[in-house]
Amino acid sequence: MKNGLASMAMGCMVMISASAYAAGEASEVQASANVNAQAALSHGEVRKVDVAAGKLTIKHGPLENLGMDAMTMVFKVKDPAMLSQVEPGDTIDFVADEVAGALTVVKLEKR
């Protein structure tokens, strides 16, 4: 009987330890993703907002995550609501990525 209780207690401790370890790893992965997202932020100036086409024209600095130099170019937006957050002349921080073959603004913060 004692051996059975001891085995159950040990089993519970192992399961709790494994859960805590997995949770710790998940936190580290999330923290790493947040750092990468911050590193991918680019700076730019909105030149044109095209609500009908769902696009922004942005004069931007280097897009390190895409390996692109500074230039002015047109991007799709992931969320059409982004278009109402900005107007020409606004300075922004943004993340652009390739989505379904098109360069797309996936995160946008007005400065």
Examine the domain organization and report whether 54 and 97 are in the same domain: yes
Helices (H), the chain: 2-39
Q: Among 4-18, 26-40, 54-68, 77-91, where is mean pLDDT lowest? A: 26-40
Examine the domain organization and report whether 59 and 32 are in the same domain: no
Determine the average pLDDT of the residues in 68-83: 97
Examine the domain organization and report whether 55 and 18 are in the same domain: no
How much is the pTM? 0.66
Examine the domain organization and report whether 34 and 46 are in the same domain: no
3-state secondary structure 79-110: CHHHHHHCCCCCEEEEEEEEECCEEEEEEEEE
**Which residue would you say has higher pLDDT here, 30 or 54?**
54
Examine the domain organization and report whether 28 and 55 are in the same domain: no
Examine the domain organization and report whether 75 and 104 are in the same domain: yes
Q: Which domain holds residue 47?
A: 42-110
Band (pLDDT 50/70/90 cuts) for residue 49 is very high
Distance, CA of 18 to CA of 14 (rounded, Å): 6
Say how many C-beta atoms besides its own lie within 10 A of residue 18's C-beta.
10
Query: 74 pLDDT exceeds 60?
Result: yes
Contacts of 35 (CB under 8 A, 6+ apart): none
Band (pLDDT 50/70/90 cuts) for residue 20 is low
* pLDDT of res. 40: 75
Query: 47 pLDDT exceeds 80?
Result: yes
**CATH number of the domain where residue 57 is located:** 2.40.50.320
